[in-house]
Structure 1
């Protein structure tokens, strides 16, 4: 039987062991549905009870446009070397270490401005599972190679290419690009990055079936489970 969204919830729920915080990574190319899956997992696992799952996107580690201009990389924004990969790995270390009683703050990413925002994502000490998502969680080059070992599992989103590109173009248009510019960016710099990410698929623990997210039931999933305590 193909995996359902309920199966994904059950698998994620089992990740925290013996009270230790776990980190689940969701990888995939631009427009693959990583953020959608992460948000639905967090919503489904937290339910209506005390939140015990947090969402920390990798996109907060984009280099600012001013730094990309200085480095001459602005026209490749979104490529592996346009992120602070070492900073991201260091955050994962801090999340795993669980500073006693401290809330850990991660950077967020403002899509309207297309800029990172410091201290935008709180991870409270009550969070037993952190869901993080981004393109390069399985990359083996440079500082990205430090990321995989910090993650308990990595799931890969790989929808059919026409669907991924359609979503990506629509997203670019939604945030202000003209249809022509949106398509050019999706089929240019974004496609180079997508090809790079696709080559890391074999390192994932699970490839998420496309229908598993679409088929999720709309109703609330009830209170948060007590097992990961």
Structure 2
């Protein structure tokens, strides 16, 4: 049974001290749970503790592996954007595997909420990095593609947040992205709710359940 952690400092203590071998930590959870916020806090906490020179921590987020909108349109998936099948799972798993043993600098993509497209080479991972944080909804899914992603990580933490909280965050995000309140709620209650239920069903596979 997964350990339950309710304090961010306990999460920090799970990854220190940083050793000679790189560690890859995944943060999974439903859309809007605060995964990127937790990843950013952990990155800042490592830098606060150990300094920024050399760089010891970097991120490889799942969202950088969104398929481009043109590809989604070709595959008839435009209205399912954000679902598991709308990501380049093989590319994601492959980069994580390379990141574990790379002896030189590599880069990872990010997702632009302004462009609504992935942006290549947004995250630098120099050879000095000892901790890589990868956050995303589907890191715990058991199907073949996502299982390869999960197997590339040393631990996966599940960020547990109620639907009532994430729903409002997601609606606000959609409105900020240009949708009307009505269209935002319809998207969230349809697409995001389906994805949330799918992610929640995989929570038991996590190393740690995080309840902040």
- TM-score band by shorter chain is over 0.9
Mapped to 1, the partners of 2:114 and 2:6 lie a distance apart of 34
3-state SS of paired residue (1:131): strand
Unaligned runs of 5+ residues in structure 2 are none
Partner of 1:192: 194
How many aligned residue pairs are there?
Answer: 206
Mapped to 1, the partners of 2:163 and 2:192 lie a distance apart of 12
Candidates 149, 152, 158, aligned match of 1:150:
152
Partner of 1:159: 161
Mapped to 2, the partners of 1:126 and 1:148 lie a distance apart of 23
Candidates 121, 124, 140, aligned match of 1:122:
124
Partner of 1:59: 63
How does 1:34-113 map onto structure 2 within 5 Å? 34-47=35-48, 49-50=51-52, 51-98=55-102, 100=103, 102-113=104-115
Mapped to 1, the partners of 2:62 and 2:209 lie a distance apart of 19
1:8 equivalent in alignment to 2:24:
no
State the 4+ residue runs in structure 1 displaced beyond 4 angstroms: none
Contact 2:5–2:209 under 8 Å retained in 1:
no
Unaligned runs of 5+ residues in structure 1 are 211-229
Partner of 2:28: 27
Deviation of residue 2 (structure 1)?
Answer: 6.2
